[in-house]
Amino acid sequence: MKRRLLFILLCFILSPIQTAFSASIASKKVTILQIVEHPALNMTRQGITDELANHGLDIAYQSAQGNTQMAMQIAHYFANTTPDCLVGIGTISTQALLAANRQSNIPIVFSSVTDPKAAGLVKNLKTPEGNITGVSNDYDPLAQFKFFKKILPSLKKLGIIYNPGETNSASLLERMKIAAKEMNIELVLAPANHSAEVPNATRLLLSKTQAIFINNDNTALSAFDTIIKITRNENLPVFCSDTDMVSRGALAALGPDQYQIGRQTGKLILQILARKTPNHLAVLFPAVEQVKINYPEAMRLKIDIPQEFLSTQKINDAT
Using pLDDT thresholds of 50, 70 and 90, give the confidence band for residue 21.
low
Residues 134, 28: one domain? yes
The number of beta carbons lying within 10 Å of the beta carbon of residue 309 is 18
Q: Do you know the residue count of the chain?
A: 319
Q: Is residue 19 part of a domain?
A: no
**pLDDT value at position 23?**
58
**pLDDT value at position 57?**
95
Mean pLDDT lowest for which of 121-125, 178-182, 290-294, 315-319? 315-319
Mean pLDDT lowest for which of 21-25, 154-158, 238-242? 21-25
pLDDT digits (tens, 9 = 90+) for 79-91: 999 999 999 999 9
Number of domains making up the chain = 2
Residues 200, 226: one domain? yes
Taking residues 294-314, what's their average pLDDT? 85
Q: Is residue 11 part of a domain?
A: no
**pLDDT value at position 286?**
94
Domain of 262: which CATH number? Answer: 3.40.50.2300
Residues 201, 150: one domain? yes
Q: Is residue 79 part of a domain?
A: yes
pLDDT-above-90 percentage for the chain = 79
Q: Is residue 299 part of a domain?
A: yes
Q: Is residue 81 part of a domain?
A: yes
Q: Show the domain range for 215.
A: 141-256+290-314
CA 95 – CA 68 distance, rounded (Å): 10
Q: What is the pTM of this model?
A: 0.84
Residues 165, 307: one domain? yes
Residues 104, 145: one domain? no
Residues 169, 59: one domain? no
What does the H/E/C string look like for the chain?
CHHHHHHHHHHHHHHHHHHHHHHHHCCCEEEEEECCCCHHHHHHHHHHHHHHCCCCCEEEEEECCCCHHHHHHHHHHHHHCCCCEEEEECHHHHHHHHHHCCCCCCCEEEECCCCCCCCCCCCCCCCCCCCEEEECCCCCHHHHHHHHHHHCCCCCEEEEEECCCCHHHHHHHHHHHHHHHHCCCEEEEEECCCHHHHHHHHHHHCCCCCEEEECCCHHHHHCHHHHHHHHHHCCCCEEECCHHHHHHCCCEEEEECHHHHHHHHHHHHHHHHCCCCHHHCCCECCCCEEEEECHHHHHHCCCCCCHHHCCCEECCCCC
**pLDDT value at position 2?**
56
Taking residues 138-159, what's their average pLDDT? 96
**pLDDT value at position 311?**
63
**pLDDT value at position 100?**
96
Using pLDDT thresholds of 50, 70 and 90, give the confidence band for residue 164.
very high
Q: Is residue 100 part of a domain?
A: yes
**pLDDT value at position 14?**
47
Residues 222, 247: one domain? yes
Average model confidence (pLDDT) across the chain:
90
Q: Which of 142, 238, 253, 152 is nearest to 190 (CA)?
A: 238
Residues 281, 304: one domain? no
Residues 274, 301: one domain? no
Taking residues 228-232, what's their average pLDDT? 97
Residues 162, 102: one domain? no
Q: Which of 210-214, 288-292, 311-315 has the highest mean pLDDT?
A: 210-214
Taking residues 222-246, what's their average pLDDT? 95
**pLDDT value at position 167?**
87
pLDDT digits (tens, 9 = 90+) for 31-79: 999 999 988 899 999 999 999 999 999 999 999 999 999 999 999 999 9
